[in-house]
Amino acid sequence: MLTEALQRYFGYTTFRPGQQAVIEAVLRGEDVVAVLPTGTGKSLCYQLPTKLLPHATLIVSPLLSLMQDQVEQLKKMGERRVIALNSFLNRAQKQHVLATLSQYEFIFTSPEMLQQPDVRAVLQTLPLSLIVVDEAHCLSQWGFDFRPDYLQIADVFQQHGRPGILALSATATQQVLADIKHYLRLNEPFELIQSVDRPNIRLMRERFTTQEEKLQWAFSYIEAAKGAGILYTQSRKKCEHYAQQLLARHVRVAYYHAGMDMYDRQLIQQQFIAGELDWIVATNAFGMGVHKDNIRHVLHDVFPATVANYMQEIGRAGRDGEPAIAVLLYAQGDEQLVTYVATEDIPNDVQVDLYTQQVDPYDIVRHGAASDTQFRVLHYWLQQKNAQQVKHLLGELRLEKRKQIEAMQQIVSTAACLRQLVVNAFGQVVEEKPTECCINCGATYELHVVMDKKAPLAMDVNWQMRLHALFPL
């Protein structure tokens, strides 16, 4: 019967692993935690139930770009009763949306919006069948320090008589799972944890003494590589610089970061999806909404600060199930850079004291003694706990960040199987070791790639030809 509905609403004939069990639990009205690797149809776990349940579904999404992408995907499938209630709306638009909210089936919103009294008031009276918390790992991974609003989702809905909550994530360690269940106050949830392992992605690693050697290796690799790839790096400046170097080597490449205007970002993404570009040099802003199945390579210029980020980023390779390669690059001293970037937003003890001493605490930002992010963290915690407790908590947070970085450093330095180490970090075990496993298990860089190069219309053709290409008729 479920399969029938699947066929009717989405045109698929079979479920992917895990989907059916999750959907059945959701339809029974239970709380559910589902960890499904990226690209395996997480969204269907609420899309199908929404079509079958009597009332609307509320989807809380931590990132605006993610929300927008999901709204677009639903609209693309012909679903009209979709609305995104987010900070992009101006006051009049927001009032209009709130007044007409009951006509929608899929209501997307952000944790920040949920804090606003008028939004809360409407949502608390609206009949809902399901609440979805998407990317639920953010609750632990960033929500803890950078997105405090995410922790308060549970407060919005009364514990008695609220609809079931479905917490979705692609990557979650045991600790993150515990955080999700705790902060969302889930009630004996049904849990489905799919393995985080992606056996078709080979885990490679290269170590160098100097930054220069590392980069030369990366550029040569990219120059020779077949198929599409992403080079992840840390800063916008590096993105632009590396792309320039690669262009000089005649690689079909562009850079992508959040400092570009929205339309430019869309154009680059579109060129990449269409096969007009082979490589993207990007900050971690790139990836969401990139529906491209045949990415063959993901390189990391510097290792990510957490194993979860690493898994999410390499997980963009090989969604088509064909072999793909992930290369983690390392040069001596990288760990200092990573530690600095990862901990700079955590306030220190001096800032805690400063905050408590000010009449208007925001003065510490105005006087340059703290960043906006640091202020938000302080502001949230100091309303709930005293200064001593907050100092203790922030200390733990720093410790936790360092632990995460150490886990990545282990991956950088180990002589053992990388796959086992990565999968173990999520409290799981590798079920079946692929032949081409990782650098320490003797995996090779050989890849048979069916090329999907598409030569775009040359830039220097005259405007008449370009216009004709847009409108052939």
Closest-CA residue to 140 (of 376, 404, 383, 339): 404
Does position 263 interact with another protein (CB under 8 A)? The reply is yes
* Under rule CB under 8 A, residue 99 binds another protein: no
What is the contact mask toward another protein in residues 24 to 63, using x (rule: CB under 8 A)?
Answer: ----------------------------------------
Residue with Cβ nearer another protein (161 or 472): 472
Q: Find the part of the chain contacting another protein (CB under 8 A) among 128-136, 158-166, 271-279, 304-312.
A: 271-279
- Tokens representing 331 are 């040069």
Give the binding range for another protein (CB under 8 A) out of 100-108, 195-203, 212-220, 459-467. Answer: 459-467
Give the integer Cα–Cα distance in Å for 253 and 272: 9
Instruction: Pick between residue 93 and residue 95 the one whose CB is nearest to another protein.
Output: 93
Whole-number Å distance between alpha carbons of 53 and 58: 12
- Binding-residue pattern over the window 158 to 197 for another protein, x denoting contact by CB under 8 A: ----------------------------------------
Phi-psi region of 191 (alpha: psi -120 to 50; beta: other; left: phi over 0): beta
Alpha-carbon distance of 332 to 341, in angstroms, equals 16
d(CA 20, CA 377): 39
CA distance 254 to 235: 15
Q: Look at residues 157, 149, 182, 185 and name the one whose alpha carbon lies nearest to residue 380.
A: 149
- Find the shortest distance in angstroms from Cβ 258 to another protein: 14
The site map against another protein for 439-458 (x = CB under 8 A) is: -----------------xx-
CA distance 21 to 9: 18
| Smallest separation, CB 432 to another protein (Å) | 36
Select from 20, 116, 152, 271 the one that contacts another protein (CB under 8 A).
271
Task: Report the distance separating Cα 67 and Cα 105, nearest Å.
Answer: 15
* Smaller CB separation from another protein, 44 or 326: 44
AA letter at 291: H
Tokens of 128: 């809902």
CB of 463 to another protein, least distance (A): 4
Is residue 267 near another protein by the rule CB under 8 A? Answer: yes
Interaction pattern, residues 216-255, with another protein; x per rule: CB under 8 A: ------------------------x------x------xx
C-beta separation of 312 from 426 below 8 A: no
Burial class (CB in 10 A: 0-12, 13-18, 19+), 146: middle
**CB nearer to another protein: pick between 290 and 417:** 290
| C-alpha dist (Å) from residue 126 to 62, 99, 246, 419 | 22, 11, 53, 46
Nearest distance from residue 405's CB to another protein, in Å? 32
For another protein, the closer CB: 214 or 265: 265
Q: Residues 72-91 vs another protein: string with x where CB under 8 A? A: x---xx----------xx--
**Separation between Cα atoms, residue 459 and residue 248, nearest integer Å:** 17
Given the rule CB under 8 A, which residues bind another protein? Answer: 68, 72, 76-77, 88-89, 93, 240, 247, 254-255, 260-264, 266-268, 270-271, 274, 276, 456-457, 459-460, 462-464, 466-467, 469-473
